[in-house]
Amino acid sequence: MSLSKAKESLLILFFAIIIFASGMDLFADLAHGADTAHILKEGLLVLLSFFAIIWLFYEKNIQTQQIKRLKQELKQTNKNKADEYIVEGRRQLAKIISQQFKQWQLTQSETEVGLLLIKGLSLKEIATLRNTAEKTVRQQASAIYKKSEISGRHAFAAWFIEDIL
């Protein structure tokens, strides 16, 4: 489970505990005839916690849809029919990229991030697709640039195709 998912789960648990504890206290206060202001404050806390849980589930759903969309786009890109010479060129380029990544001694995660950078995905899209924090992807990209002695993402992608064009 990624750190982001762990945080979401902890927040949901936290708000669920607030709802339960405040709800129980609210019922006890109603039974003992607490004043209206106190009842309204307790009710507001329960309501806000409930909406926070709904918002967290909504955000999680949006993130899941983004991941599906990105995976679908990548799959569609790979399915597009191309002439045999294009397919062979892609195969050769993939082999060159793989060999270069090994020469630079990129880790498996850096290799995955590097391929997605070459494909033109943003750091946020890569983080969403890999289900990691954007900061992690940024650090991996920096490690790639340092190991390859290339200044940034545009120069990194251009390094592989510069002499082809």
At 104, which CATH number? 3.40.50.2300
Is residue 52 within 8 Å of 18, Cβ to Cβ? no
Based on the fold, state whether residues 87 and 155 are members of the same structural domain.
Answer: yes
Cα–Cα distance for residue pair 7/59, rounded to 1 Å:
13
Based on the fold, state whether residues 100 and 149 are members of the same structural domain.
Answer: yes
Boundary-marking domain end, from 75, 91, 118: 75
Based on the fold, state whether residues 37 and 60 are members of the same structural domain.
Answer: yes
Based on the fold, state whether residues 97 and 143 are members of the same structural domain.
Answer: yes
Boundary-marking domain end, from 50, 75, 100: 75
pLDDT in tens, 86-121: 778 888 888 988 999 999 999 999 999 999 998 888
Task: Show the domain range for 68.
Answer: 3-75
Global pTM value: 0.56
Lowest mean pLDDT among 16-25, 66-75, 82-91: 82-91
Cα–Cα distance for residue pair 121/66, rounded to 1 Å:
13
Phi, psi (5° rounding) for residue 27?
Answer: -65, -40
Cα–Cα distance for residue pair 43/17, rounded to 1 Å:
14
Number of domains the chain contains: 2
Based on the fold, state whether residues 96 and 150 are members of the same structural domain.
Answer: yes
Nearest to 49 by CA among 26, 24, 17: 17
